[in-house]
Amino acid sequence: MSTENADSGAGADEGPHPNATQDVVAVDGDDEPTGLANRLDAHTGEGQRHRAFTALVFDEDGRILLAQRAANKRLWDTCWDGTVASHPVEGQSQVDATKQRLEEELGVTPDQYDDLEVTDRFEYKRRYEREGLEWEVCAVLQVTLTETDLDPDTEEIEGLLWADYDLLYEQPEWYRQLRLCPWFEIAMRRDQEGETVADGSVGFER
């Protein structure tokens, strides 16, 4: 779920990968911080468990906003997310991190919603081709936009699509042309099947 961008063909003389200069919050299986982890190291090799979030953005008709990750992402490039996902920095809550990413990636400001809340939390680990992996304790947040004007950052998002949330889950063959991000598929299934845990505990996905 990282917002990791590729080197874009940069050579060795152009310095390290941008993510090598950033950290994520390493956590144990209960989402308790254990320190900081280099962001690139956390997503390569065997990886390191770290804190993340994904935010499901709805309109007032119950449709979910799907966002296509930019082609320059190192992990899950061009896949469709529902809707934004990233990592809180040290000392930042998932709610505050979500507010920040909603504005940075979609141009959505707090006056467009008033119901942002954490609805679930789960741990999962998934590899992506030969490029790396995600090993995260992921908080799920949901929000309903009362006003749906968007101003997407095309460095992060290359496509937007409003979809019927129930049909996306119940009739996946209708949307087979969309490659969905694994953390979103997990969050949607847990939500639709009533497996969510909103009390701070962590569900597990293998």
Q: What is the pLDDT of residues 93-120, one digit of tens each?
A: 999 999 999 999 999 999 999 999 999 9
Domains of the chain, residue spans: 16-193
> For this structure, is 136 an active site residue?
yes
Find the catalytic residue in 4, 123, 136, 156.
136
Q: Is 17 a known ligand-binding residue?
A: no
- Residue 131's CB: how many other CB atoms inside 10 A? 15
pLDDT reported for residue 1 = 56
134 is in an annotated binding site: yes
Q: Grade residue 50 by pLDDT with cuts at 50, 70 and 90.
A: very high
| Spatial contact of 94 and 121, defined as CB atoms under 8 Å apart | no
Q: pLDDT per residue over 143-175, tens digit each?
A: 999 999 999 999 999 999 999 999 999 999 999
- The third-level CATH classification (topology) of the domain covering 16-193 is Nucleoside Triphosphate Pyrophosphohydrolase (3.90.79)
Alpha-carbon distance of 167 to 55, in angstroms, equals: 19
**Tens digits of residue pLDDT in 25-42:** 999 999 999 999 999 999
200 confidence band (pLDDT: 50, 70, 90): confident
User: What tokens appear for 135 in the block?
Assistant: 């090993």
Give the global pTM: 0.88
